[in-house]
A and B are shown apart, each in its own frame.
Chain A
Amino acid sequence: MTDTGMTATRVLELIEAYGGAPDTWPEAERAGAQALIDAQPEVFEAALLEACRLDGLIAVRPEVEPYTDLYERILDDAPMAEVRGRSGLAWFKSLILPQGIRWPAGAAFASLMIGVVGGYAYASTGTVESFDQIDQAYGSSFDLDAADDWLNREEGA
């Protein structure tokens, strides 16, 4: 057992459950487990190797992207039809980017969804803090790598 309370048995359990990549292990246990592995690599070598092989097989499956019109279909369902108009987009931007900071490259859908939902939260609570919470939560739900295109297209239309 180490200073962190981590044991060899627990490290093997982590490998058995989460696989051979430490970044997939629970954050709270990661450092302790890694320290134990570094101290006694021979104890964990076989388990790590086998787990990494399986990780590789699982990861070989290709990612599938949704058809691009899925985003627009979802937005079509949104109750706030006005957000799709030019004035709505401007309002969106002011809400999403109150400081004028751009999202990372490729963030249209995420930004839009954050705006739709953030709008509700902002209207219902009137606090910037609550919007920030929504912003963070929703931002974690979407890939930010596709988004500016949509916004730019809507603006340019």
Chain B
Amino acid sequence: MPVIFRVSYRMLGDRAEAEDVTQETFLRAWKIMPRWQPNAKFSTWACTVALNLCRDRLRKKKPVLMDEPPEQVDVALRPEQALASRQAVSRIEAEIACLPIRQKEALELCAIDGMGNIEAAEIMGVSIHALESLLARARRSLRARLKQEMDQ
């Protein structure tokens, strides 16, 4: 799967929107191609464009205010059953979606196979130190929110 689609899907959580962002990213790529610098890394450039397009779309969306945390997983299930259930996946996805956007970007980029921290930081336009700080905060937050699942 193209990394651009994966990044977009993870950020937006919607396949159709992720496809639109992927297509728009390539439209921009086609436009700049005659002036492309061969020493630049395409995946880094394209992910940066895709991430910016995702941010634009997320900004235009109405904020989802959550008065209550997402539904809890049925604790009667064994861990492997709970994790396999759609309910559990939905809760994990919801908690990741609730992260501040920069933390979410760092988490999702670094979760992609083959994406090193240097490239992830470059895509986000931050230092390695800042990237690690965002990652650590994201993971701390998720650990607290998913404590029940972590303990199972």
Contact = CB atoms under 8 A, between A and B. Distances in A.
Interface in A10-48: 13, 16-19, 24, 26-27
Contact of B38 (A18, A53, A59, A134): A134
Interface in B34-89: 34, 36, 38-43, 46, 83-84, 88-89
A61 B111 CA distance: 11
B143 interface: yes
Interface stretch (A1-9, A91-99, A119-127, A149-157): A119-127
Contact of B143 (A50, A121, A130, A133): A50
A133 B39 CA distance: 7
A65 interface: yes
Interface in A41-92: 50-51, 53-54, 56-67, 70, 73-74, 77-79
A103 interface: no
Given A57-B92, A120-B33, A141-B46, A70 B22 contact: yes
A156 B39 CA distance: 35
B92 to A, nearest CB: 5
Given A18-B117, A66-B15, A66-B22, A58 B111 contact: yes
Give the bracket for the number of chain A residues in contact with chain B: 35 or more
B4 A62 contact: no
From B2, B19, B88, B150, residue with most partner A Cβ within 10 Å: B2
B126 interface: no
Interface in B7-45: 9, 15, 18-19, 22-23, 26-27, 29-30, 33-34, 36, 38-43
Contact of A142 (B2, B111, B140): B2
A138 B42 CA distance: 6
B7 to A, nearest CB: 11
Given A77-B30, A120-B33, A61 B93 contact: yes
A66 B96 contact: no
B1 A58 contact: no
Given A61-B89, A141-B4, A66 B39 contact: no
Nearest to A77: B27
B9 A64 contact: yes
Contacts of A26: 116-118, 128
A82 to B, nearest CB: 14
A137 interface: yes
Interface of B: 1-6, 9, 15, 18-19, 22-23, 26-27, 29-30, 33-34, 36, 38-43, 46, 83-84, 88-89, 92-93, 96, 107, 110-111, 114, 116-118, 128, 131-133, 135-136, 139-140, 142-143, 146, 149-150
Interface of A: 13, 16-19, 24, 26-27, 50-51, 53-54, 56-67, 70, 73-74, 77-79, 109, 117, 120-121, 124-125, 130, 133-134, 137-138, 140-143
